Structure 1
Amino acid sequence: MIIYAPPPILRLAFLVSCTGVLFGYGITSIAGVLDVLTPQFGLSLHQTQFLVFILVAGCFVGAIVAGPASTRWGRRPVMGLATLISLGAYGFILTAPSWAGLLTARALTGVSIGLYSMVVPMYAAETVHTPRRGAIVALFQLAITAGILLSYGLALWLDSPQQWYLVLAFGLAPSLLAVAGLAALPESPRWLSLHAHPRQASMAAHRLGLEDEWQAITQAEARIPHAASKSLRQGSVLKVMLLCSSLFILQNLSGIDGILYYAPQIFKGLGFSAGTAALAATFGLGAVNFLATLASVSLVDQLGRRRLWIVGSAAMVFGLAMVTIAAANDHPWLGLVGLCIYILAFALSLGPLPYVLMSELFPSALREQGMATASAISWLFNALVALTFLSIVETLSLAGTMLLFLGVCILSLILGIKYLPETRNLALETIESRVLEGLPLRQIGG
Structure 2
Amino acid sequence: MPNPTLRIAFLVSCAGVLFGYGITSIAGVLDTLGPLFTLDLHQTQFLVFILVAACFAGAAAAGPLSLRWGRRPTMAAATLASACAYAFLLTAPTLGGLIAARVLAGLSIGLYSMVVPMFAAETARTARRGAVVALFQLAITGGILLSYGLALWFDAPDQWQFVLGAGLAPTVLATLALAALPESPRWLAMRGRHGEADEAILRLGLLDEWRAIAEPPAGAAARPGLRQGRVLGVLLLCSALFVLQNLSGIDGILYYAPQIFKGLGFSAGTAALGATFGLGVANFLATIASVALVDRLGRRRLWIGGSAAMAVGLAAVILAARDSAPWLGLFGLCLYILAFAVSLGPLPYVLMSELFPAALREKGIAAASAVSWLFNALIALTFLSIVEAVGLDGAMTLFLAVCLLSLALGIWLLPETRQVSLEDIESRVLAGLPLRELGVGRPTGPGPARSPRSAAAGPCAPGRRHSR
TM-score normalised per structure 1: 0.98
Aligned residue number for residue 439 of structure 2: 445
Aligned residue number for residue 53 of structure 2: 57
Aligned residue number for residue 357 of structure 2: 363
Aligned residue number for residue 120 of structure 2: 124
1:381 to 375, 380, 397: 375
Output the CA distance in 1 between the equivalents of 2:220 and 2:273: 52
- Secondary structure at 2:17 match in 1: helix
Deviation at 1:266, TM superposition (A): 0.1
Output the CA distance in 2 between the equivalents of 1:305 and 1:369: 23
Deviation at 1:106, TM superposition (A): 0.2
Output the CA distance in 1 between the equivalents of 2:439 and 2:82: 37
1:159 to 155, 158, 161: 155
Aligned residue number for residue 283 of structure 1: 277
Deviation at 1:316, TM superposition (A): 0.4
Output the CA distance in 2 between the equivalents of 1:182 and 1:340: 34
Does residue 171 (structure 1) correspond to residue 167 (structure 2)? The answer is yes
Output the CA distance in 1 between the equivalents of 2:31 and 2:223: 50
Q: How does 1:425-436 map to 2 (within 5 A)?
A: 425-436=419-430
For the Cα contact (< 8 Å) 1:289–1:343, is it kept in 2?
Answer: yes
Deviation at 1:226, TM superposition (A): 5.0
For the Cα contact (< 8 Å) 1:313–1:409, is it kept in 2?
Answer: yes
Deviation at 1:353, TM superposition (A): 0.1
Could you report, residue by residue, the CA deviation over 1:345-389 in whole angstroms, capped at 9, with x for unpaired residues?
000000000000000000000000000000000000000000000
Could you report, residue by residue, the CA deviation over 1:79-111 in whole angstroms, capped at 9, with x for unpaired residues?
000000000000111111000000000011000
Deviation at 1:224, TM superposition (A): 5.4
Output the CA distance in 2 between the equivalents of 1:416 and 1:187: 34
Output the CA distance in 2 between the equivalents of 1:117 and 1:256: 16
What code does the residue aligned with 1:166 have?
A: F
For the Cα contact (< 8 Å) 1:226–1:365, is it kept in 2?
Answer: no
Could you report, residue by residue, the CA deviation over 1:194-240 in whole angstroms, capped at 9, with x for unpaired residues?
111111111101000001112x1x52774456535530111000000
What code does the residue aligned with 1:161 have?
A: P
For the Cα contact (< 8 Å) 2:220–2:430, is it kept in 1?
Answer: no
Output the CA distance in 2 between the equivalents of 1:398 and 1:221: 57
1:231 to 225, 235, 255: 225
For the Cα contact (< 8 Å) 1:305–1:353, is it kept in 2?
Answer: yes
Does residue 351 (structure 1) correspond to residue 345 (structure 2)? The answer is yes
Aligned residue number for residue 180 of structure 2: 184
Q: How does 1:314-333 map to 2 (within 5 A)?
A: 314-333=308-327
Output the CA distance in 2 between the equivalents of 1:29 and 1:199: 43
Could you report, residue by residue, the CA deviation over 1:143-181 in whole angstroms, capped at 9, with x for unpaired residues?
000000000000000000000000000000000011100
Unaligned runs of 5+ in 1: none
Output the CA distance in 2 between the equivalents of 1:292 and 1:122: 23
Q: How does 1:40-119 map to 2 (within 5 A)?
A: 40-119=36-115
Output the CA distance in 1 between the equivalents of 2:135 and 2:214: 27
- Secondary structure at 1:219 match in 2: coil
Unaligned runs of 5+ in 2: 441-468
Deviation at 1:133, TM superposition (A): 0.3
Output the CA distance in 1 between the equivalents of 2:64 and 2:247: 27
For the Cα contact (< 8 Å) 1:118–1:371, is it kept in 2?
Answer: yes
- With over 3 angstroms needed to count, the CA separation of the structure-2 counterparts of 1:418 and 1:228, relative to structure 1, is farther
For the Cα contact (< 8 Å) 1:56–1:383, is it kept in 2?
Answer: yes
1:421 to 415, 425, 432: 415
Deviation at 1:339, TM superposition (A): 0.3
What code does the residue aligned with 2:158 have?
A: Q
Could you report, residue by residue, the CA deviation over 1:309-353 in whole angstroms, capped at 9, with x for unpaired residues?
000000000000000010011000000000000000000000000
Q: How does 1:264-275 map to 2 (within 5 A)?
A: 264-275=258-269
Does residue 262 (structure 1) correspond to residue 250 (structure 2)? The answer is no
Output the CA distance in 2 between the equivalents of 1:221 and 1:209: 24
Does residue 244 (structure 1) correspond to residue 225 (structure 2)? The answer is no
What code does the residue aligned with 2:57 have?
A: V
Aligned residue number for residue 133 of structure 1: 129
Does residue 198 (structure 1) correspond to residue 197 (structure 2)? The answer is no
Output the CA distance in 2 between the equivalents of 1:423 and 1:311: 17
Could you report, residue by residue, the CA deviation over 1:412-442 in whole angstroms, capped at 9, with x for unpaired residues?
0000000000000100000000000000000
Output the CA distance in 2 between the equivalents of 1:356 and 1:114: 17
Output the CA distance in 1 between the equivalents of 2:180 and 2:214: 28
1:392 to 379, 386, 396: 386
Output the CA distance in 2 between the equivalents of 1:163 and 1:41: 15
Output the CA distance in 1 between the equivalents of 2:423 and 2:37: 53
For the Cα contact (< 8 Å) 2:217–2:430, is it kept in 1?
Answer: no
Output the CA distance in 1 between the equivalents of 2:202 and 2:68: 23
For the Cα contact (< 8 Å) 2:217–2:426, is it kept in 1?
Answer: no
1:15 to 11, 17, 24: 11
Q: What RMSD in Å do the two structures reach over aligned CA positions?
A: 0.9
| Aligned residues with identical type, % of pairs | 72
What code does the residue aligned with 1:314 have?
A: A
Output the CA distance in 2 between the equivalents of 1:193 and 1:328: 58
Output the CA distance in 1 between the equivalents of 2:166 and 2:15: 14
Could you report, residue by residue, the CA deviation over 1:368-411 in whole angstroms, capped at 9, with x for unpaired residues?
00000000000000000000000000000000000000000000
- With over 3 angstroms needed to count, the CA separation of the structure-2 counterparts of 1:221 and 1:283, relative to structure 1, is farther
Does residue 295 (structure 1) correspond to residue 289 (structure 2)? The answer is yes
Could you report, residue by residue, the CA deviation over 1:10-48 in whole angstroms, capped at 9, with x for unpaired residues?
111111100000000000000000000000000010000
What code does the residue aligned with 1:129 have?
A: R
Aligned residue number for residue 35 of structure 1: 31
Aligned residue number for residue 406 of structure 1: 400
Deviation at 1:68, TM superposition (A): 0.3
Output the CA distance in 1 between the equivalents of 2:130 and 2:214: 20
- Secondary structure at 1:227 match in 2: coil
